[in-house]
Structure 1
Amino acid sequence: MTDDRDTGPFFAAAREGRLDYCACEPCGRGIHPPAAYCPHCGERTSWKTASGRGKVYAFGEVHHTVNAAFPAPYTVVLVELADQPDVRLVGHMAGLARIEVGEEMEVFFQDAGEGVVLPQWRPSGAKIS
């Protein structure tokens, strides 16, 4: 997963503490999931570094543990990047987060083990405990 042709650069950037996204220069769109060619105009895509800011596009609460790695309850958040509203990224927030659609978020990077680092989200200005 982390060294795949299309998503490898995303995970490599996360390991370095950057939030990179795939974009198409000719049509100006962000592409997620990443792809070598733009699905809108067919041109080759490239990688850009995001500011790490966004806003909550949607969220949901999970009350039943499906995977032991993610004990319930937790909140799944979909964040629209401030730099590129075409790109929306999913994150995991432990517990039942008190967030609202439109709330400003910032990225932080979570070591998931085995060389995998995942971008996650928290309300802007929040501290990690």
Structure 2
Amino acid sequence: MMQIFSNRTMAFLGMLALLAGCTPALSPQAGRDLFSQNCAACHGGAGQGGAQVPNLTTLAQRYGGTYPQSMVLDKLDGYARGQNAYAGAEMPEFGHLLTGPLTRVQTARGLSRPLPQHIVALDAYLQSVQQ
């Protein structure tokens, strides 16, 4: 059987595929900027919460050492769509986070779902600040 691509070419193509998923709009830095603009007023600049506001840096600790990405994405997407109360805590409406391009996110069950890039960036930031 004839080899169409060399190992070097395949490695290069693999790197390109990885970089395509790491666009600046989806980075933890982009998420940090969105967090500062939309969430820090209540959750604090570092996401550590307060007396009546959850600490977002301990999500993984509270869920058995695994970051609960599906739950976080559901909540962020729900807040953006106007579902502003979870467990009695009211959240502001973040409808503007639904603007812009969509991206597909792989879920724990091997499925993918389209979400706004702003939501995905916020999630990437929250994952990056876990203790």
Same fold (TM over 0.5): no
TM-score after normalising by structure 1: 0.25
Identify the structure with the greater helix proportion.
2
TM-score after normalising by structure 2: 0.25
